[in-house]
Amino acid sequence: MKLWGGRFTKETDQLVNNFNASISFDQKFYRQDIRGSIAHATMLGKQGIISEDESKKIVDGLNGILSDIESGKLEITDEYEDIHTFMEATLIERIGDTGKKLHTGRSRNDQVALDMRLYTRDEVLNVNQEVKELMEVILKIMKENTETYMPGFTHLQKAQPVTVAHHFGAYFEMFKRDRSRLHDIYERMNYCPLGAGALAGTTYPLDRELTASLLDFYGPTLNSMDSVSDRDYLIEFLNALSTIMMHLSRFSEEICIWNSNEYKFIELDDAYSTGSSIMPQKKNPDIAELVRGKTGRVYGALMSLLTTMKGIPLAYNKDMQEDKELSFDAIDTVKGCVSLFKGMIATMRFNPKRMEDSAKHGFTNATDAADYLVKKGVPFRDAHGIVGQLVLTCIEKGIALDDLTLDEYKAISPVFEQDIYDAISLKTCVEKRLTLGAPGPDVMKQVIEKYEGYLLND
Ligand code: ARG
- Give me the residue spans of the domains in the chain: 14-104, 112-356, 359-456
Average pLDDT of the residues in 388-400: 95
State CA 346 to chain mean position distance.
18
Query: How close is the Cα of 27 to the center of ligand 1, in Å?
Result: 13
**Which has the minimum average pLDDT: 136-145, 275-284, 298-307?**
275-284
The verdict on whether 249 is a catalytic residue reads no
Give pLDDT tens digits for 286-323.
999 999 999 999 999 999 999 999 999 999 999 999 99
The CATH number of 359-456 is which of 1.10.40.30, 3.40.50.970, 2.40.30.200, 3.40.250.10?
A: 1.10.40.30
How many whole angstroms separate alpha carbon 352 and alpha carbon 358? 10
Question: What's residue 458's pLDDT?
Answer: 83
Is there a catalytic annotation at residue 247?
no
Q: What is the pTM for the complete model shown?
A: 0.95
Q: Does residue 90 have a pLDDT over 80?
A: yes
What local confidence, expressed as pLDDT, does residue 268 receive?
95
pLDDT at 361: 87
Distance 299 CA to ligand 1 centre (A): 25
Q: Are 361 and 400 a contacting pair, CB within 8 Å?
A: yes
* Distance from the alpha carbon of residue 112 to the mean position of ligand 1, in angstroms: 7
- Ligand 1 contact, 112 CB (< 6 A): yes
Out of 276, 327, 339, 358, the active site residue is 276
CB distance 321 to ligand 1 below 6 Å: yes
Compute the distance from residue 450 Cα to the ligand 1 centre, in Å.
47
Least confident among 263-277, 335-349, 405-419: 263-277
- Mean pLDDT, to the nearest integer, of 361-367? 91
Q: What mean pLDDT is reported for the chain?
A: 96
Flag the least confident range among 1-15, 84-98, 328-342: 1-15
Ligand 1 in reach of 85 Cβ (< 6 A):
no
- So what's the pLDDT on residue 277? 80
Residue 88 predicted with pLDDT over 80: yes
Q: Which fold has domain 14-104?
A: Fumarase C; Chain B, domain 1 (1.10.275)
CA 18 to ligand 1 center in whole angstroms: 14
Mutate to test the pocket of ligand 1, among 27, 33, 108 (most ligand atoms within 8 A of CB): 108
Q: Is 112-356 in CATH node 3.40.1080.10?
A: no
Ligand 1 atom nearest the C-alpha of 83 is 1
- Res 390: pLDDT: 96
Mean pLDDT of 400-417: 96
For ligand 1, atom 4, which residue shows the shortest CA distance? 321
pLDDT at 275: 81
Q: What is the pLDDT of residues 234-266, one digit of tens each?
A: 999 999 999 999 999 999 999 999 999 999 999
Supply the pLDDT for residue 140: 98
pLDDT value at position 280?
Answer: 80
What ipTM was estimated for this complex?
A: 0.96
Counting residues of the chain whose pLDDT is more than 90, the rounded percentage is: 92
Mutate which of 12, 22, 314 for ligand 1 pocket (most atoms within 8 A of beta carbon):
22
- pLDDT interval class at 363 (50, 70, 90): very high
Which protein residue has the closest C-alpha to ligand 1 atom 2? 321
